[in-house]
Amino acid sequence: MRSGTAVLVEESAAEPELHFQRCRWCHTTTFQRLLCPTCGSTDLAPELSAGEGVISVRRGFTAAEADLWPVHMAEGFVVRCRVDGPPHAVRPGVRVRLAPGTLGAGRRPVVRLCEEVALDGWF
């Protein structure tokens, strides 16, 4: 793998691997960038993510992106993911983990909820 790329690799229905980049100068983490967003360096080293994160607030999304959510991964970078779970449970603050053996359309990572989320009395 070239040092300037980030990819999601699926290996025969095993645990998916999400690779991100860490700047060798300022140690900022990022996902699918050519330059460090903090210092502008091109010296980005690929690393393997643990695959856990938290759904964040989304703003300014189009209809085509309605099923994508920004997920803050444990390593500090943000990636837009498709979330596999009941619609009432998909909201900011919910912990998620990479879904095993799945890739979204357009090679987007797919995440699943880590725990059950209550209905909050809506039904």
Supply 46's token pair. Answer: 């690929």
Exposure letters 13-25 (e unless 16+ CB within 10 A, then b): eeebebbbbbbee
Q: At which residue do the structure tokens 């330059």 appear? A: 35
Residue 55 falls inside a structural domain: yes
Q: Which amino acid is at 104?
A: G
Comparing CA positions, the residue from 118, 109, 114 lying closest to residue 8 is 109
Position 105 in a domain: yes
Q: What pTM, to 2 d.p., does this model score?
A: 0.76
Question: In the prediction, which pLDDT does 60 show?
Answer: 82
**Separation of alpha carbons 65 and 106, rounded Å:** 11
User: What whole-number distance in Å separates Cα of residue 71 and Cα of residue 75?
Assistant: 11
Q: Are the C-beta atoms of 54 and 96 separated by less than 8 Å?
A: yes
User: Does some domain include residue 122?
Assistant: no
Reported as a pLDDT band with limits 50, 70 and 90, residue 85 is: confident
- 11-42 pLDDT, tens digit per residue, is 444 667 899 999 999 999 999 999 999 999 99
Are 26 and 36 in contact by the 8 Å Cβ rule? The answer is yes
Q: How many domains does the chain have?
A: 1
Q: Which domain holds residue 28?
A: 8-113
The amino acid occupying position 52 is E
The more confident residue out of 3 and 42 is 42
Residue 92 lies in a domain: yes
Q: Is residue 44 a part of any domain in this protein? A: yes
